[in-house]
Amino acid sequence: MYHGAEYHSSRLTPRCESSWYRPLQGRARAFGDDVTRRFHTVAALRLLNRIGPTIASSRSSAGEANAIAECIAPRRVRAPPSILIPGATRMLRLASACCAAIATMAMPFASSRLPAQSPPPQAPVTTPNQQAATLTGRVIDSTTAQPVAGVQLVIVGTSLGARTDMDGRFRISRVPAGEQRVRFTMIGYSAIERRVLVTADQGATLDVRMQSVATRLNNMVVVGYGTQKAATVTGSVSAVQGSRLEAMPSPNLSNMLGGTLPGVVSVASSGQPGADGATIRIRGSRTLNDNSPLVVIDGVPDRAGGLDRLNPRDIESISVLKDASAAIYGARAANGVILVTTKRGSTGQPELTFSADYGSNRPARLPEMTDAVTYMTMLNEVDQYRGVAPRYSAQQIENFRAGSDPWLYPNTDWFAEVIRSSSPQSRADVSLRGGAERMKYFLSLGTQSQDGYYENTASRYNQYAFRSNIDGKATDHLDIRFDLTGRLEDRNNPNRPASEIFRAIMRGKPNLPAYWPNGLPGPDIEYGNNPVVIGTPATGYDRDQRFYVQGTLNGTLAIPGVKGLTVRAGANYDQMFGYRKQWRTPWTLYTWDGLARDASGQPLLQAAQRGYNAPELQQDNERNNGVLLNVVTDYQRQMGRHSLGLMAGAERQTIDYSSMAAFRKFFLSDQLDEIFAGGDAEKQNGGSAGLARRQNYFSRINYNFADRYLIEFVGRYDGSYIFAQDRRFGFFPGVSGGWRLSEESFVRNTLPMFNDLKLRASWGRTGNDRIDQWQYLASYGYGNGYVFGVNQEVKSIYPTRTPNPDVTWEVANQANLGLDASLFHDRLSFTVDYFTEKRDDILWFRNASVPQSAGLVLPRENIGKVDSRGVDGSVTWRQKLSTNSSFDVTLNGGVTKNTIRFWDEAPGAPEWQRSTGSPMNTGLYYRSIGVFRDQAAVNAYPHWAGARPGDLIFEDVDGDGAITTDDRVRIGKTGEPTFTGGLMFTGRFGGFDATAFFAGATGATQYLATESGDLGNYLADYADNRWTPENPDATQPRTFNGGEYWRSNANTFYLRNADYLRLKTLEIGYRLPQRLLSTMRVRQARVYASGLNLLTWDRMKLMDPEARSSSAQYYPQARVFNFGTSFTF
């Protein structure tokens, strides 16, 4: 519990009496007092203990530094106990050390200015004749009379300030008596200044009404290398505020974007802790190669670690560039750009926020499998179709139905045996945000933990992170930004991957036990893969740790004498350390022949070692260093009704990486899991290293007249290491324009309900260099082999790729036409975009037209062409119900379609099988048109040789009277949806608030064909609806065993409709009344309950519609129930 802290600096030692020490000592003490007042947190208190020696060492010797430290802090600060968060202590030490370093760098700037100029505003010091008082009040909207939260207040000439709470109220203590001027500012409202008379005995109350100025239009939108007002943006840019993402209890940020932003497709195919990232596409897939968008975090592209594990509570906003606006990122922007901006400091009193939540997760959906009796009956049917005697007698089946002896007649639900009813997950964060005129800060610490689904689980993910974003004003013309971020990701898993564990569960036979009645693990199942064992630590472990450290140092210089001209230079450093250790040990399973018993009549089990013949260890270390240097010159000039912006910059990025790997076997003991203890036999060592470099130059020119006519040009000259030297650079231009019709008098007069109406158009050329490296060079592999006539292995090399010196990036020519509108005083707003793209020079092989007998390892060539088009948009309604009740509803969605214009295809293929003219990634399938009811139906229609009643009917597409490969057709759907959308409702009703988010998709299919029969169990849905002689009109074919023609040849029967609508998140919260909190010195307090993946409506039913497994062997998404609380001090 926090009890405050002590700080004393009034007593000086004799060494401090030196006159040349006093000025420095006074400034340092003032700085320390200010830090104590503003950073009243653990990190700042520890900073105070270090700041004396640090400041002194910048001006004097080590001995003098000690003396000054003694002057400043002769008595150590007593810091409060650490908050009980796992890993918080070492994170706190690192964060506080960072704060100390930042403050130390800021001190020379601050102190060097003090003698020459006026000091920065300080909190007034009261005297007996001028006593302090308290200023309170409330801010409301002048139009709606609603409270306005988040308004910044500053008492002019001082550093005193505050921020309004959710009820619009504020409180400022220690205000000097007398007349004061108070300035109120808030994005979307006109800034105002009011005078108030503060009396020492009564304080003062000041209530203010602020005039709204169309918030949506004045919001700043993050774009490439800068920001723009939403009203003047001419590109297709979608944005979401971080506050919207905080309501989602998903531990992975990428899972929150699908359905949140129009045109963004997010497919979450796994719920495995630490490996639950979604596949993100912007406006769908548009190339035959990598379709991943470029992710830029705080101005740094492709930052190590990506966006998956970012803390949503650290996010200020996320913007998505979907059209020519992305051209400023050149050769990496063809698939769109995601811009992530983290929170920064703000002026006013510090805000310390603590948030914590705890929840439980379990699979959102698991398939239902058959029981032992049904499974045995179906295997008898398989034997009947084979013409052999059934393997189970009627009496045996009846014994299993009765279940009288669990040793002999088990009935195992493998999912129930392996999967827990619930698994815990938790998250906790503490952040500090505030600042004054010369320095602003945002500091955060966070941790999260998530357990896997398995009983006795070996699956767990832990994460610890800190962030420090500091903005300082070194001089009137120079601003400094220093960011430091660290994150530790600790993944612990079984040594078998999740797909193998769920494969074993799906194939678990219900007439075999998971555990024997005495508790020992059951019999040998397919090479020892008993799922109740391989999901636990009994087989070893797979531990993967990754530590990220990222730093940014930027300086922005406003050129004196040239209004609007700034030069910004920055250096960004990323480092990643990876450490993975896979320890694999044999395990023991127990079998029983059904006969052997001991003297007491108990079954005698036979133990057998399974898995590995000896312990083995695979250990990998990797390191990745990235440096990004850039300089940007920006000029903004307002000349009457004309506004001009010029920006130009240069950037250089270098990434070097290396890795080492070692494998050992035959260890001295299975308790000694270190490389040195392994044997020399079969040992392996390996490693790799590489260097990547990029260099580019970019510019942007924008002009607008009276915020009515808008035009913008962007260009980037980009160089990439991936290509040969003479093809390394390319130019990527873009142009966009806008016409704000709402600023025209004829529109204002005829359509007065429109607050804003803007027409946009853009065209741009972007590139995609997300391809394999070094394709312009020949590559070789090496290995051991035998030479004819020599009876020993010989090392040899062999070609693995023929070089293509002409390889270059893909080029996307993108066009966009958009409309933005706001009506009825911004209550209704919408945006809609129509877009087209022509993607050329896609790298692909000529394998189809070059015969395989040529014996060549062919290179990829820039031969592919794909066209894409679509529409996306969103509509929002905002409604005020009363002074403290309101809601808004946002519906967004996007539909996209792609078509292959050209790629290499074998000549002579039937027209209906050609991929040219079809969507990408579509497969060839036999079209299933039903089930043969009886032998007469088989005889009446062309069929596969050996077809029998109960088999699937394949359509004779070419009408030649036979089923051949020419009857396969290309289906126009893939696993990626053509439409994605979302519906978000947020409301506030008194002290209660609620958020509900629905996400959906249509146009996708999933191929689902389980491994069943002798291999494993059947789906219950299939068993209930299968064809039998007694059920000839069934919708499902007869019982299969894997060798049937309709199982071994892809057909449309197994293509399942993957359309869905999902209640993705639901959160209900309550804010405690302010009158209750004021007695506890708490600014805000909120409790809430939330859920993730609560309901799903779909036609799949058998597995999750977002899954990407043809046999349902995947780690399912999680359904989460969560409870949490948040306090702001």
Q: What single letter denotes the amino acid at residue 1103?
A: M
Domain co-membership, 97 together with 187: no
Q: Give the per-residue pLDDT at 839.
A: 95
Say if residue 897 is exposed, middle or buried (CB neighbours under 10 Å; 0-12, 13-18, 19+).
Answer: middle
Q: Residue for token digits 């990407």?
A: 1108
88 and 59, same structural domain?
Answer: yes
CA atoms within 13 A on the CB side of 874: 23
Q: Is-contact 928 963, C-beta < 8 A?
A: no
Last residue in a domain, options 144, 179, 213: 213
- Per-residue pLDDT tens for 213-257? 645 555 678 888 888 888 888 889 988 888 888 877 787 888 888
User: 145-173: per-residue pLDDT in tens?
Assistant: 778 887 888 898 888 888 888 788 999 98
Q: Is the dihedral of CA 36, 101, 547, 311 positive or negative?
A: positive
Please check the confidence at residue 105 and state whether its pLDDT lies above 50. no
711 within a domain of the structure (yes/no): no
The separation between CA 362 and the C-alpha centre of its own chain, rounded to angstroms, equals 20
pLDDT digits (tens, 9 = 90+) for 501-521: 999 999 999 999 999 999 999
List helix spans (H) across 875-958. Answer: 935-940
**CA max distance for the chain:** 114
Query: Do residues 1004 and 973 make contact, with C-beta atoms less than 8 angstroms apart?
Result: yes
Give the chain's domain count: 3
Query: Are 101 and 136 found together in one domain?
Result: no
pLDDT band at 6 (very low <50, low <70, confident <90, very high): very low
Extract the tokens encoding 393.
Answer: 């007698």
Closest CA to 336 of 347, 328, 346: 328
Give a yes or no: residue 207 inside a domain. Answer: yes
What's the pLDDT tens digit per position in 1096-1116?
999 888 888 888 777 778 889
Range picked from 184-188, 481-485, 536-540, 798-802 for highest mean pLDDT:
481-485
Structure confidence at residue 187 as a pLDDT band (50, 70, 90)? low
- Phi then psi for residue 149, to 5 deg, are -90, 150
Q: For residue 95, name the pLDDT band (cuts at 50, 70, 90).
A: very low
User: Is residue 1072 assigned to a domain?
Assistant: no
pTM: 0.79
Q: Which residues span the domain enclosing 782?
A: 773-805
Q: Which residue has the higher pLDDT, 371 or 95?
A: 371
Residues 94 and 29 in one domain: yes
Contact (CB, 8 A) for 1086 and 243: no
Residues 62 and 97 in one domain: yes
Reported confidence tier of residue 1088, pLDDT bands at 50, 70, 90: very high
In a domain, 33, yes or no: yes
Q: Which residue has the higher pLDDT, 802 or 546?
A: 546
Picking from 259, 192, 187, the residue whose alpha carbon sits closest to that of residue 216 is: 187
What phi and psi values does residue 63 have, to the nearest 5 degrees?
-65, -45
- Please check whether residue 896 lies inside any domain of the structure: no
Average pLDDT on 761-779 reads 89
The arithmetic mean of pLDDT across residues 712-718, rounded, is: 95
C-alpha to C-alpha distance for 261 and 241, rounded to whole angstroms: 11
| Side-chain-facing half-sphere of 975: CA atoms under 13 Å | 18
Look at residue 785 and tell me if it is in a domain.
yes
Residue 716 has pLDDT above 90, yes or no: yes
User: Is the pLDDT at 526 greater than 90, yes or no?
Assistant: no
174 sits in the region (left: phi over 0; alpha: psi -120 to 50; else beta) called left
Provide the pLDDT for residue 635.
Answer: 96
94 with 151, same domain? no
- pLDDT of 14 reads 35
Report if residue 886 sits inside a domain: no
pLDDT of residue 855: 60
Tell whether 31 and 106 lie within a shared domain.
yes
> Which among 213, 235, 266 is the end of a domain?
213
**Mean pLDDT over residues 65-72, rounded?**
35
90 lies in the same domain as 155: no
CATH code of 181's domain = 2.60.40.4130
Average pLDDT, the chain: 84
Whether 23 and 105 share a structural domain: yes
Q: What is the pLDDT of residues 49-61, one digit of tens each?
A: 443 333 333 333 3
Residues 69, 99, single domain; the answer is yes
Alpha-carbon distance values, 657 to 57, 824, 867 (Å): 37, 55, 36
Percentage of the chain beyond pLDDT 70 is: 86
pLDDT digits (tens, 9 = 90+) for 888-913: 999 999 999 999 999 888 777 888 99
- Residues 102 and 155 placed together within one structural domain of the fold: no
Indicate the residue among 178, 213, 248 that finishes a domain: 213
Which pLDDT value is given to residue 853?
61
CA 174 to chain centre: 44
Residues constituting the chain: 1129
- On whether the CB atoms of residues 978 and 1026 are closer than 8 A, the answer is no
Q: Are residues 74 and 149 in the same domain?
A: no
Asked if pLDDT for residue 65 goes beyond 80, the answer is no
CB 146 within 8 A of CB 880: yes
Pick the more confident residue, 874 or 772.
Answer: 874
pLDDT tens per residue across span 637-671 = 988 889 999 999 999 999 999 999 999 999 988 88
Map tokens 């996708």 to a residue: 1004
Rg for the chain (alpha carbons), in Å? 34
Specify if 97 maps to a domain.
yes
CA distance 396 to 413: 19
547-591 pLDDT, tens digit each:
999 999 999 999 999 999 999 999 999 999 999 999 999 999 999
pLDDT given at position 265: 87
Across 672-690, average pLDDT: 91
How many CA atoms lie less than 13 Å away from 541 in the CB half-sphere?
17
Query: Distance between CA atoms of 945 and 467, rounded to whole angstroms?
Result: 67
Q: Is the model's pLDDT at 1031 over the cut of 90? A: yes
Q: Per-residue pLDDT averaged across 437-453, rounded?
A: 93
